[in-house]
Structure 1
């Protein structure tokens, strides 16, 4: 089951990087729920569709460093690069914790933080 869940997420992410957002959504349950911890919650495929249309002006780039599966849960740890409203690329580190149901992505808890290296960060006052 673990390898199957990893393959599902990998195929879904491949669809996103091709800009095939409907292809990605085909891997999600109708009642999928995405929680961006500390930010927002998206309930249902339509809410995710609208969020993707607003957020992914260009397809994101993923670097998945690790996939960890246990039962119906799958954690993906990596980095995602998105272009903001001005066209500037922004890189974030993430840990996505997915719950799968009937072979589809049913629930997401996403932990996302700015991934600028220390030398790129604003100077700290001290």
Structure 2
């Protein structure tokens, strides 16, 4: 039998590996401390705008905002959750993503998922990668914690495509354990 801490150990093991892969996928990357200047190439200025847009959206969400997906995602976004299980796969359009992945989970929470730590926000051109930890409380009083790596392709300041890496076991545990409200 798997211990209650096994998903957390897996997340701790895989998240740093994924973050380590990001620089290989997007070299050279801009980090949060970088700032655009007049001598910076257009691609780098675009990367900094995209990085700042995503970082600001996470900051607002962490402070209690509840419009993260509406503010940042394109209505026609393609959101892919990597892994296996009933919630892994590709969702086409913001409405599909919210209806089939966000709402079934969020309806089982008494306190919504909030970023509790944003470890890294990398960007190159239209690509932005974010490593963050989130926490919530399920309606049965049990805590939910997970670590995520989201990779976005931005278009006109909004997420056109997203690939999400997370430990699906705790996510699916909340959905199995807590009945959906009527």
TM-score, length of structure 1 as denominator length: 0.76
Q: What is the CA distance between 1:10 and its match in structure 2?
A: 2.4
Distance 1:78 1:111 in 2: 11
Runs of 4+ in 1 over 3 A off after TM superposition: 14-17
Distance 2:112 2:59 in 1: 10
Instruction: Report how many residues are paired.
Output: 114
Conservation of the 8 A alpha-carbon contact between 2:55 and 2:121: no
> Aligned in 2, Cα 1:68/1:80: closer, same or farther, shift over 3 Å?
same
Q: Higher mean Cα deviation, 40-49 or 90-99?
A: 40-49
Distance 1:14 1:47 in 2: 25
Gaps of 5+ in 1: 117-126
Match of 1:93 among 147, 154, 167: 147
Q: Does 1:33 align with 2:78?
A: yes
Partner of 1:59: 112
Gaps of 5+ in 2: 1-45, 171-182
1:37-116 alignment runs, 5 A limit? 37-38=82-83, 39-50=88-99, 51-56=101-106, 57=109, 58-62=111-115, 63-113=117-167
Q: What is the CA distance between 1:15 and its match in structure 2?
A: 4.6
Question: Where is the helix percentage greater, Structure 1 or Structure 2?
Answer: 2
Q: What is the CA distance between 1:25 and its match in structure 2?
A: 0.9
Distance 1:86 1:42 in 2: 28
TM-score, length of structure 2 as denominator length: 0.55
